[in-house]
Amino acid sequence: MTTASPKIFNFHGGLYLDEHKSVSTSRRIETAPIPAMLVLPLSQHIGAAAKPCVAVGDTVLKGQLIAKADGRVSSQVHASSSGKVVAIEQRAVPHPSQLKAECIIIETDGRDIAIEQAQTGLANYHSLSTNELRQRIHDAGIVGLGGAGFPSHVKLKPNGHQVETLILNAAECEPYISCDDMLMREQAPAIINGLRIMQHALHAKNCMIGIEDNKVEAFIALQEALGQSDDIEIVRVPTRYPAGGERQLIYSLTGKQAPSQGRPLEIGIVCHNVGTAAAVHNAVTKAEPLISRVVTLTGSGIPQPRNMRVLIGTPIDDLLAHCHANKADIGRTMIGGPMMGFAIDATASPVTKTTNCILVTHQRDIQKPATALPCIRCGECADVCPMNLLPQQLYWYAHSQEFDHIQDYNLFDCIECGCCDVVCPSRIPLAQYFRFAKTAIWQQERDTEKSNKARQRHELRLERLEREKIEKRERHNRKKAALKKEPDQKEDPKKAAILAAMKRVQEKKSTTGITPGNTDNLSAEQQHKIDEANARRANLNKNNNKNGP
């Protein structure tokens, strides 16, 4: 039991926002019906998209693997219910870009027959090695359910680092969202067990749960689930947005700052979300893959806001219809909270593993976006920035598109929490400017890389041409040099021969006037050889005569 209140480190800035959470926490988590169609995107996570391992026309069962993880940072996709694969095609998915993405479409048969999993659930996870645990988590297709969707098995690998503290992020700081809160109230033991499994996988020394102090019921439920054990410390943090930002929560609990542009693992800390812990528990103890999640359906466009356990792949339209949301009244549908979420036009998009909240605003509550006035450098934004940035300066450079300067002011440390927007008296959409600047810089870097490659190619070609030119010239020079030397030997010989011949003729004429015979002027040796030859010939003739007839 945690009774003593540990020291809380206060992060810079932040905002006290209207919570709007209680509207969706008065009912228990409701199970959404099986939809007629399941739309399962191949990429519901950070990393490479999964590769389909079923074909159109295949019959699939609930929990059956339908797309395999492709590489280390990727995740499996399972059928959320039984039915038939009717298409594998591009469909609208919940993404800020509003672009379509490849999805497996399953026409459900309503029977919801589960597949026999190869592995069985294990109550005692200690019997598994950490690698086997990670493999199970990988096979279950678990990704970070807090919203980022990073494959959990990757985040459960210490990679040579000693993990000091495993932190369970139960802060859920964005307004309206209450899915983690409700999950903690109703499934605290599963979350605690999932957390212990993750601690085991990471060999983490300490384990902490960071929960905002507005979630009293959830806090009590966690404490009850923990009972007398003291292996996990539950810490209440002030309800100040963005208390649930990973870096902010780590700082609040430990006083340590995760390195800028680095990962918390580098300072021995790993952070996971409560929904992920529950999914890990299901995967290990029940051998259940991740095929459903809790989603908050809230906002003024939903008559009775609530939390629902929804099969992954359920079209948002089905959920809106189930909640009796009048489509004509809907002014805006957002995925996620009002601070960091994004609006979607296509409500046919499915719920994915990372869809924590569907925030529907009635059209009467849609405010016309305020006209932005020039920045007056009042610095309110810097006062509330939880990363201690200077948004007024970032804005200045984003506005003038001076992307070198904006990086000097640490643009890439911005977590896009949107605090600066809320306090800006000039109503400048600052976070939007920063997102734009980041995208533009990434694009620029890709272009630079492309042009670097092109330049390298070009330079190599120039080099090759130059080399060939030099070689050609050298060859030519060699030839030329050879030509220059040869004339002394080539042209002269004729003349020399003529001259020499003429000289010999003259000499002959002047001395004897008679051409000497072949056997004149013989040396002694030559004479000796001639004598020998003559002797042999004489001998041969003599023998021939003897043997002759």
Partner 1 sequence: MTTNTPQVPSSASVSRLMLHVGYALIPGTAAYVWLFGSGVLIQILLACVTAVISEGVILMLRKRPVLQTLADGSALLTAVLLALAISPIAPWWIIVLGTAFAIIFGKQLYGGIGYNPFNPAMLGYVMLLISFPLEMTLWPAAFSLLEHTPTLQTSIDVIFNSGLGIDTVSGATPLDAIKTQLGQGLDIPTTLISPRYGDLFGSLAGVGWEVVSIGFLLGGLYLLVTGRIAWQIPAAMLATLGILASVFYLIDSSRYISPLLHLFGGASMLGAFFIATDPVSAATTPRGRIYYGIGIGVFTFVIRTWGGYPEGLAFAVLLMNMAAPTIDHYTRPAVFGQRKG
Residues at the interface with partner 1 (CB under 8 A): 11-12, 17-18, 96, 98, 175, 247, 251, 255-262, 332, 334, 336-343, 345, 361, 367, 370-371, 373-380, 382, 386-390, 392-393, 409-410, 413, 418, 421-427, 429, 431-432
**Shortest distance, position 230 Cβ to partner 1, whole Å:** 27
What is the spatial distance between Cα 376 and Cα 461, in angstroms, rounded to a whole number? 53
Is the Cβ–Cβ distance between 166 and 270 less than 8 Å?
Answer: yes
C-beta closer to partner 1: residue 125 or 434: 434
Which SS3 state, helix, strand or coil, does residue 237 take? strand
Strands in 100-108's sheet, in edge-to-edge order, are 37-41, 100-108, 83-92, 59-60
In the complex with partner 1, which residue's Cβ is closer, 110 or 255? 255
Q: Which of 155, 149, 190, 185 is CA-nearest to residue 284?
A: 190
Pick 304 or 407: Cβ nearer partner 1: 407
Environment class of 470 (CB within 10 Å of its CB; exposed 0-12, middle 13-18, buried 19+): exposed
Q: Smallest distance from the beta carbon of 330 to partner 1, in angstroms? A: 13
For 335, other C-beta atoms within 10 Å of its C-beta total: 23
Give me the least distance between CB of 348 and partner 1, in Å please: 18
- Based on CB atoms, which residue is closest to partner 1, 276 or 393? 393
User: Minimum Å distance from CB 410 to partner 1?
Assistant: 5
Which is closer to partner 1, CB of 141 or CB of 386?
A: 386
- How do 292-298 and 357-362 pair as beta strands? parallel
User: What minimum distance in Å lies between the beta carbon of 387 and partner 1?
Assistant: 4
CB atoms within 10 A of CB 472: 10
In the complex with partner 1, the residue whose CB is nearer, 133 or 171, is 171
In whole angstroms, the minimum distance from the beta carbon of 180 to partner 1 comes to: 19
Cβ 379 to partner 1 shortest distance, Å: 5
CB of 320 to partner 1, least distance (A): 17
**Of the two residues 247 and 438, which places its CB atom closer to partner 1 in the complex?**
247
DSSP structure string for 429-462: -HHHHHHHHHHHHHHHHHHHHHHHHHHHHHHHHH
> Cβ closer to partner 1: 161 or 256?
256
Classified as helix, coil or strand, 139 is: helix
CA angle 521, 527, 531 (to 5 degrees): 145
Specify the residue, 318 or 380, whose C-beta has the smaller distance to partner 1. Answer: 380
Return d(Cα 2, Cα 163) in angstroms, integer.
22
Q: Under a CB-based contact definition with an 8 Å cutoff, are residues 19 and 239 in contact?
A: yes
β-bridge partners, 87: 105
State which amino acid sits at residue 510: S
- Pull the structure tokens for residue 265: 């693992």
Count of CB atoms within 10 A of residue 96's CB? 12
Which amino acid is residue 257, in one-letter code? Q
Distances (CA, A) of 195 to 217, 381, 456, 522: 19, 36, 50, 117
Q: DSSP states of 283-327 as a string?
A: HHHH---S-EEEEEEESTTSSS-EEEEEETT-BHHHHHHHTT--G
Whether the Cβ atoms of residue 359 and residue 341 lie closer than 8 Å to each other: yes
Q: Which residues pair with 210 in a beta bridge?
A: 169, 235
Q: Kindly tell me which of 245 and 275 has the beta carbon lying closer to partner 1.
A: 245
Minimum distance from CB of 346 to partner 1 (Å)?
13
* Residue 263 vs 309, nearer CB to partner 1: 263
288 SS3 class = coil
What are 100's strand-pairing partners? 92
CB of 150 to partner 1, least distance (A): 18
Tell me the closest approach of the beta carbon of residue 419 to partner 1, in angstroms: 8
Nearer of residues 18 and 525 to partner 1, judged by Cβ: 18
Distance separating alpha carbons of residues 65 and 53, to the nearest angstrom: 8
| Least distance in angstroms from the C-beta of 22 to partner 1 | 17
Cα gap 172→175, rounded to integer Å: 8
